[in-house]
Amino acid sequence: MHTPARKRLVMIGNGMAGIRFLEHLLKLSPESYEITIFGAEPHPNYNRIMLSTVLAGGTDISEIVLNDWNWYEDNGIKLYAGHRVQHIDIESRRVVSDQGVVAAYDVLVMATGSSPYMLPVPGAAKEGVIGFRDIKDCETMFEVSRKYKKAAVIGGGLLGLEAARGLLNLGMDVTVIHLHGELMDRQLDSPASRMLKRELQNQGMKFLMNKQTEYIGGRKRVTHITFTDDTLLETDLVVMAVGIRPNMELAKDAGIPVGRGILVNDYMSTQVEGIYAVGECAEHRGISYGLVAPLYKQGAVLAKHLAGVPTEGYHGSMTSTKLKVSGVNVFSAGEFKGSEDTRSMCYQDEVEGIYKKIVLRGDKLVGSVLFGDTGDGPMLFSLMKSGESVAGREKELLLGYAPGKSQADPVQRLAAMPDDEIVCGCNGVSKAAIADAISNKGCTTVGAIKACTKATGSCGGCKPVVEGLLTLYAGEEASVNVKEGICGCTPLGRDEIIQSMKSMGLKSVKETMNVLGWGEPEGCSKCRPALNYYLGMLWPDSYEDEGESRITNERYHANIQKDGTYSVVPRIYGGVTSPSELKKIAEVAERYEVPLVKFTGGQRLDLLGVKKEDLPGMWEDLDMASGYAYGKTLRTVKTCVGNTFCRFGTQDAMAMGVRLEKAYERINTPSKFKMAVSGCPRNCAEATIKDFGVVAIDGGWELHVGGNGGVKVRATDLLCTVRTEDEVMEWSGAFLQYYRENASWNERTAHWVERVGLDSIIEALKQPEDRQALLKRLEIALEQTRDPWKEIIHDPSLRKNFEPLAVSGMIHPGE
C-alpha cells in the first residue's frame, strides 16, 4: 500500500546506469521513495561490459550479476522483470507495461539504455542475424555454435572484436568485416590498429577490410553475405556490431522532447516536470555517452538532486577508453589522431608489442594512444583534463621516465594522480574512493577493495593501478599477490574456511563471519550460501539450515519465471510414472489453472505459471516429493527402458535409476547434480554427459563421472567397472560424499574432476574401508533431509511467506 509520506518513483530500465543511480539514492535518502522498476529483460541487474567474457568462456552468466534478486527484495523495490513499458501517460502520471501492469508515479526516471544498430540491408531479418547487446544474444551464440561452424561479425570496433573473440572460443571459424581499412579506427591510430590486427590474426581471427554489406542471403536462415564489390562470404551466423542508438521511442511517443537521445539539463531533468533520464538514452549538451563512467556521474547527480542534497549538476565528461581487447591492453583519450595544429611523439616496439603516442597542442597534452602497456593511461588522462602545462616533460610522459634516468617507480607516479581521477571506469571508482577503502576501511587486498568499492569487479583492466594504490597506501600491510577468497568479503579460500570451522567448532553463518573477520558483516550472495552449505556438510546432525542464506528459488521451493509465476516440478523417480500419478498431476494442474505442462529434459513434468500463493496448496494436493529442480542437490536420474523392454538392453536401467534417485534425493551438494542410467552401451539416457553416469555392459556396469551437457559440453571419465547393483550404490554414494566434502561451493563435478584430477578421486575411493567411511557420513547427512513442503503444508505460520511476490523475473537454468 502506498504511504503518502513517500513519493512514488518509477524507473523504466534495469541496467547498470539506472541501478547505480538507485544505489546512490538509497544511501542518501532511503525512506523518501517507494520504488518500482520495469526491466525488459528477465534478469536482475547485470554487468553488460562482461558479456564478452561470458561469451569467451571466462565466466558464467551468474557471475556477472551486480544486484541479485535478494537486493531488490531487501530494499523494498518492486521489480517487474521481463516487462517492457509500452506507454507513458504524462497527464495521469502512469506507465503501462506490455503485460498490463499499471504503475502510478510522482517521479519517473527513464533509464532505457540503447539498442544495437542493425544495418538496414535486405535479409537483415533472417534467422541467424543478431546484435551483441544482452544475455539473450550470448545464449543465441552458444546455441548456434553447437550446430554451425562459420560466423561473420560486421564491425571492427571494440564490440565486434570482443564478439569475434568469444565466437573463436566457441570453436567457430570467425571473419570480421569492417567498412574501413583500420580496426577500432575511433579509438586507435594507424600503427596501433595494425599491431592489433596482427595480434588478432595470430589468435585465429580473419578479416575483410574495406567491405560494405549489400545484402544477407539465404531463404529462412542466413547462408551468406554479399558485398557491394560483388564478392561473397559464406556464413551460418551474422553478428552486427556497428554501433548503438539510444532507446528514446517511448519518450518520443509520450511527448517528451528528444534529439539524438532524450534531452536533459544538468540535473538530468527532461523538459517534462517530474520526468528524468539517465544513461545511454539521455542526450546532455548535445552528447549521448556510451561509457559507464560518465553515466555513473549522471546517476550520482540525479540521486543528489532527488534526495535534496546540494549538487553543482552534471557538466559533461571528457572520456577515455581503457580496455582489454581480446587479451590486448588498449588506452586512448582525447585527440589521439592529431591535427594540423598539434604535434605528436611516438614510441613503438613491435617485438614486445608496445606502442605509445602523445599528442600536444602548444604546451598542453590533448591526446594519447597506448597499446600493450597502458599503465600510464590514468596519469595522462588526468593531465588532459587539468590542462596544465607539460613543457619540458614531453619525453618523460611518453616513456614513463626522463631520458637518461632510470625508470620512475610506478607507485610514485600514482602518488601524483589527482584524487578525483577515475581508476575503474567500468564502475566509476575514483582514486580517492580506493584510498579511503585502504586507509580507513582496512582493505589490504585487491579482493577486499573490490568488495568495498567494486573496483576491478568488471573488465579487470584497472587491476594493475589498484595494486599500485594498495602498495602506495597500505605499505607493508598490502597483500598484492594474495589469493582471492571465496568472495570479496574475505581473503579466505574454501579450504581455510572449512579448516577453521572444524578446528574452532564454528556452527553458524554469523559466527563464522564474526570469528573469521568478514569485511562485510552480513556477507553477500556468494559467500552466505557457501557458508550455509559448508556448515551443513560438516555438521549434518546438528546444523540448522539457514533459509535466508539460500537463493530465491530455494527459499520458495520452486523456479521463479520471468512473469513472476513459478514452475513446480514434482519428483518422478527415474522418469518412471503410473497412470494414477499422471492423473493426479493432471487434476492438480486443472484445479490451479496451470497454463502450461511440459516434459523436461530430465523425464519429469513441469507445471509452469503457478502463482506464489498457490504453491503450498498445490504441493498438498499433489502429495508428491519435490523434484528439487531449483536446488543444489540431486536433480534427476534419467533412464532408458533397459532390458525390461529393449532388445538391446543388458541390465534393468529403470530399476537401477529409481534405486539411485530414492537413495540420494534431497541431499545437498556443492552444485546441481544429475545422474543417468543407460541399459546398454548405446547410451540412450546420455549417461556420459552427467555428473554420475551408469552404463550397463554384459555382466556389469561402467561408472562414469564429471560429465556436463551445458554450454561447455564435457564427456565423462570412466571411474571404474563393477559387477552388481549393490556395488553401483556403494561407489556412487562414496563418490557423491567425496564430492560433497571436497568441491568448492557452486563447482560442478565437471570442473571439480578437471581441477583435482581423476587419479586422485580413484585413489580416494579404491579401498573398501574408505568407501564405507564415506558412506557412513553420507548416511548421517541423508538422515537429516526432509521434504520442505511437508513442513510448509502442516505449519500455517510458514504459509504466510507465500503472499504475492514483488520481485519477479528469474529464469532458472533448465534441467
CATH superfamily of 7-114+246-307: FAD/NAD(P)-binding domain (3.50.50.60)
pLDDT at 455: 83
What residue type is assigned to position 717 of the chain?
D
Instruction: Give the DSSP H or E segment for 67.
Output: strand 65-67
Instruction: Give the DSSP H or E segment for 755.
Output: helix 749-756
Q: Which residues are annotated as a binding site?
A: 640, 646, 680, 684
Three-class HEC string of 355-388? EEEEEEECCEEEEEEEECCCCCHHHHHHHHHHCC
How far, in Å, CA of 677 to CA of 693, rounded? 6
Q: Is the CATH number 3.40.50.150 carried by domain 551-626+808-815?
A: no
Residue 534 grid coordinates:
559448508
Taking alpha carbons only, the member of 459, 369, 469 closest to residue 421 is 469
Per DSSP (E only), the strands in 210-340 are 213-217, 224-227, 232-234, 237-240, 244-246, 262-264, 275-277, 282-284, 320-325, 328-334
Instruction: Give the DSSP H or E segment for 69.
Output: helix 69-74
Topology (CATH) of 320-408: Enolase-like; domain 1 (3.30.390)
Check: CB of residue 55 under 8 Å from CB of residue 785: no
How far, in Å, CA of 430 to CA of 453, rounded? 9
How far, in Å, CA of 175 to CA of 205, rounded? 6
Write down the residue that cell numbers 567494486 correspond to. Answer: 454
pLDDT at 122: 96
How far, in Å, CA of 116 to CA of 88, rounded? 23
pLDDT at 320: 78
Taking alpha carbons only, the member of 197, 196, 144, 198 closest to residue 171 is 144
Per DSSP (E only), the strands in 679-788 are 692-697, 700-705, 717-722
What are the 10-residue block averages of pLDDT along the chain, 815 residues in total?
78 96 95 96 89 74 82 92 96 96 97 95 96 91 92 94 89 95 92 93 94 95 96 97 95 97 98 97 94 88 96 89 73 89 92 92 94 84 87 87 54 73 76 89 81 74 82 77 72 88 91 88 85 93 83 75 80 91 94 91 89 87 88 92 91 95 93 95 94 95 92 88 96 97 92 93 95 95 78 60 47 41
Write down the residue that cell numbers 534441467 correspond to. Answer: 815
CB burial of residue 740 (10 Å; 0-12, 13-18, 19+): buried
pLDDT at 383: 87
Residues 6+ apart with CB under 8 A from 231: 211
Query: What phi and psi, each to the nearest 5 degrees, are found at residue 718?
Result: -75, 115
Instruction: Give the length of the chain.
Output: 815
Could you name the CATH architecture of 632-786? Answer: 2-Layer Sandwich (3.30)
Supply the CATH classification number for the domain 129-242. 3.50.50.60
Q: Is the CATH number 1.10.10.1100 carried by domain 422-477?
A: yes
CA distance readout (Å), 622 to 549, 560, 589: 28, 19, 9
Check: CB of residue 689 under 8 Å from CB of residue 748: no
CA distance readout (Å), 805 to 27, 288, 546, 801: 25, 36, 21, 10
Check: CB of residue 323 under 8 Å from CB of residue 158: yes
Asked, colleague to colleague, whether 7-114+246-307 and 129-242 share their fold, the answer is yes
Q: Which residues are annotated as a binding site for siroheme?
A: 684
Rounded to 5°, the CA angle 485-507-753 comes to 45
Q: Which residues are annotated as a binding site for [4Fe-4S] cluster?
A: 640, 646, 680, 684
Ranges of each domain in the chain: 7-114+246-307, 129-242, 320-408, 422-477, 494-550, 551-626+808-815, 632-786
